Structure 1
């Protein structure tokens, strides 16, 4: 059994050779070619001064150089720092500074926008470098994977080689990977999903088809074109696909299993009927990997909202919120979902206090609320995190609030999630203005334009509401619970700003 990602790649190259592994638009790489090209790129990185333990950022679109860069960085003994290609000045600067990245690998279109040492990966890949002789261990950190976590600015989860391989093996075992499977993925490669599914493909010797981006109208035609049998979707993707007009070829595909996080409860059976494939829940987090899965044959879970059972090596408890150590609540009673076992992150880089807070009592506190039914299945019922989950994106409220506060008109700002039929949640900003500034549309648009310059598009507030003052806690923090009223339309009285600043 391979214990590190480079070992797994070398095993797959020996075992599967010229069988297709990575399929991108206009590019197809075999297992052997991927091993050889990542070797050369690892050698180039070493020649540029990258040493074991260094952090190297990767910021590019869904191109084949992304997985090659990840594999090469790991072969050089370094740590990969995935960066969302949509990041702008503020969020990009935070990730590069916090991680201490010694360099960023990118493509030509991004070079001018990235501070520090930047390498065009295509120039590096053109050389004929020999790979460094580096030995990695299962517990070595492979990625600084940034996530909003439970509070504050995005933090880097330190994810080891063992974490990644265990995550891939858990899913591979659960879905009973077959020799004729084809995995299709449409998320950005900087996210978790293309990375663990790539490792799953290495385990099974099957192709990973990577689309340039998600397209609701193009997803199922791509499934048919590539003969995909497996995929993973989340967030707004299912609803956006469902809103497309039905097509006579909707069921004309090889798809045997759709993995999804957050399947719409009242549409689960409808999804399966429309596209002719079972949809099964997969629940987890960047911090803890795969925590709950529904077996492919568990048709009884359709339309129930059940997220599954823990895999071998994991324990999941529904605990009384705030209890340390966690105290389990009776079946059917709501509590916080807490997890322990393997895989699990090593902790948050540079944030020992946040790590200790997340692992109080020896369990990882997800910040999600749920309950356990009489069959043992866990169900999701809410969240206690200070963040907005917009589709498949986690948005740190504190990060956006900091940028909004940089506008000269803003005295204080609070970001909260409001319900949305399509995205699940949208970010709404409550803003207290400095004296002398008008609480009008022009001011709102000016604040949002600043945010758009400094943050990724998905983080931009969709609505702005001005307030005269905020209710504060004894520690002078904004009491967000007073901002949202369950019986009120959260859009009423707010200024819709997102479309007008694009």
Structure 2
């Protein structure tokens, strides 16, 4: 028995897991099949492979390699797909930036990550110029001049993306990471502090989670995937890599424009897409307006908020087959799925929507997802009533938070990743979120730290105390609602606070409503957010 356990590892049977291996395979098997379509432009998998090799070679030629950060600020364009391969093929780490951020937010993330190079779509050049102007050591700027950009913004920087690619060679060698736990990506997420945390993910997890998405969807060969989900969100839930693994086609999209999306679905025979409920609601409204259904059924993954029954009913009638998933940036996006049981289809749509809205069970790349008592770390009973915290354990899990060992230790306390989401376990074993223990608002699929918004409000000279909670919204799911207590003798209008917040926050983070008055506090001075949440709900009913 000891002999069989003592057999050594060899390169022939033990190679680092990395989603980068999906690209040369796609180029070999699906060489002449379309890899990327962008308007009237298209590339094959052989061409995409060559362009990614050139990008990797060019980055190495500029001294960028293992451990270096390359950031990108761009919509869902071909360069975004290429960066998901070319950057880590150079040994570097890809940091996808949220296109909705303000200059000061981008400056913080670039400085915190110590980014060496920033790829930026021309549309966001003005924002980047303002961001790097405030930085002591700004990264090298490379401008992406997308042919489908129809705005008037001038190019930024002295180097453009195609020139950078021309510096590289498709014949230059590249290698897999020295260790499959080497970082592949850095994503910033809203947390319980004002500044976002940098989530460091690794090659092994990206490889496994990409395969998990394929298995979850039973994705066939050569799918046609429409990029309605931003690739800056958790690396597009690992789908840039998953689509390569299946030799599929990436239909790129600068922004979600419902008429264009409907036309693209029909023109390209789109088979798969992802998004928040608001995306599907907009598409359903457009199709209803046109009195038009989708020619072929589209597999539609939805996350960010529970899908409402009206959306499910209308979407199914018009050709969407919904799969509800749940996850966080720390677990590469979707890490749990509410698996549709065949018998649910016979139930009324309202009942089916209630069942589908749950967070479900762990995807295959996770060892386990559990609802545990955070104090005892014991499982709660599956009674649908006892509240615990959703926790994950498995291989598709971040390395930790960049330069934040305390937050990393707290997140992994007890050998599990603590999501901060409070839930119950239903008798069928499916988890169902009841509340969030951390003050994060999810609006249209975007995470908003309430403390970040509060920090901005507290900068206003007339504000003594501010507290921000989620308020339900028919279109966006949740929006920030601000409760403001003024300094003695000071007055300020809601419109003035709105303008102030707009100057310091991305638009989606700005509160939609302001309620003035003393904030309810405990005997120790802590703001009672439960009371404020109820007040926000009451204001919706008025």
Is this a same-fold pair by TM over 0.5? yes
Task: Work out which of the residue numbers 276, 297, 301 in structure 2 matches 1:255.
Answer: 297
Q: Is the 8 A contact 2:19 2:210 kept in 1?
A: no
Q: What whole-Å deviation, never above 9, does each CA across 1:139-163 have from its counterpart, x for those lacking one?
A: 1101111111455431111111111
| d(CA) in 1 for partners of 2:256, 2:34 | 22
Displacement of 1:4: 1.6
Q: Is the 8 A contact 1:108 1:120 kept in 2?
A: no
Equivalent residue, structure 1, for 2:225: 183
| d(CA) in 1 for partners of 2:467, 2:95 | 29
Equivalent residue, structure 1, for 2:130: 113
Matches within 5 A, 1:300-379: 300=344, 302-303=352-353, 304-305=355-356, 306-312=358-364, 313-320=366-373, 322-335=374-387, 336-379=389-432
Task: Work out which of the residue numbers 462, 475, 498 in structure 2 matches 1:448.
Answer: 498
Residue 485 of structure 1 pairs with residue 534 of structure 2: yes
Q: Is the 8 A contact 1:259 1:281 kept in 2?
A: yes
Q: Secondary structure at the match of 2:370?
A: strand
Equivalent residue, structure 2, for 1:291: 335
Q: Is the 8 A contact 1:20 1:28 kept in 2?
A: yes
> How many residue pairs were aligned?
488
Greater helix content: 2
Displacement of 1:434: 3.4
Compute the RMSD of aligned alpha carbons: 2.7
Label 1:473 to 1:85 Cα distance change in 2 as closer, same or farther (>3 A): farther
Displacement of 1:180: 4.4
Label 1:174 to 1:459 Cα distance change in 2 as closer, same or farther (>3 A): same
Q: What whole-Å deviation, never above 9, does each CA across 1:96-141 have from its counterpart, x for those lacking one?
A: 1222212211133433334112322442432232346454132110
Displacement of 1:435: 4.1
Q: What whole-Å deviation, never above 9, does each CA across 1:283-326 have from its counterpart, x for those lacking one?
A: 22111233322446646273323433323343122223x32424
Q: Where does the alignment leave 5 or more consecutive residues of structure 1 unmatched?
A: 494-502
Q: Is the 8 A contact 1:2 1:8 kept in 2?
A: no
Residue 128 of structure 1 pairs with residue 145 of structure 2: no
| d(CA) in 2 for partners of 1:401, 1:90 | 16
Matches within 5 A, 1:159-174: 159-174=201-216
Q: What whole-Å deviation, never above 9, does each CA across 1:243-272 have from its counterpart, x for those lacking one?
A: 446267643422342221244342365135
Matches within 5 A, 1:466-481: 466-468=516-518, 471=521, 474=524, 477-481=526-530
Q: What whole-Å deviation, never above 9, does each CA across 1:431-486 have from its counterpart, x for those lacking one?
A: 233344314x2xx3333223212221111111122234562663x54332343335
Label 1:104 to 1:273 Cα distance change in 2 as closer, same or farther (>3 A): closer
Label 1:299 to 1:94 Cα distance change in 2 as closer, same or farther (>3 A): farther
Matches within 5 A, 1:55-94: 55-94=69-108
| d(CA) in 2 for partners of 1:79, 1:473 | 47
Label 1:462 to 1:5 Cα distance change in 2 as closer, same or farther (>3 A): same
Equivalent residue, structure 1, for 2:236: 194
Equivalent residue, structure 2, for 1:498: none
Q: Secondary structure at the match of 2:361?
A: coil
> What is the TM-score when the length of structure 2 is the normalising length?
0.83
Q: Secondary structure at the match of 1:287?
A: helix
Equivalent residue, structure 2, for 1:462: 512
Q: Secondary structure at the match of 1:427?
A: strand
Q: Secondary structure at the match of 1:246?
A: helix
Q: Secondary structure at the match of 2:17?
A: coil
Higher mean displacement: 267-276 or 79-88: 267-276
Label 1:334 to 1:119 Cα distance change in 2 as closer, same or farther (>3 A): same
| d(CA) in 2 for partners of 1:86, 1:379 | 30
Displacement of 1:412: 3.1
> What is the TM-score when the length of structure 1 is the normalising length?
0.89
Equivalent residue, structure 2, for 1:32: 46
Equivalent residue, structure 2, for 1:147: 189
Q: Is the 8 A contact 2:71 2:94 kept in 1?
A: yes
Task: Work out which of the residue numbers 211, 236, 242 in structure 1 matches 2:278.
Answer: 236
| d(CA) in 1 for partners of 2:274, 2:239 | 9
Label 1:473 to 1:41 Cα distance change in 2 as closer, same or farther (>3 A): farther
Q: Secondary structure at the match of 2:47?
A: helix
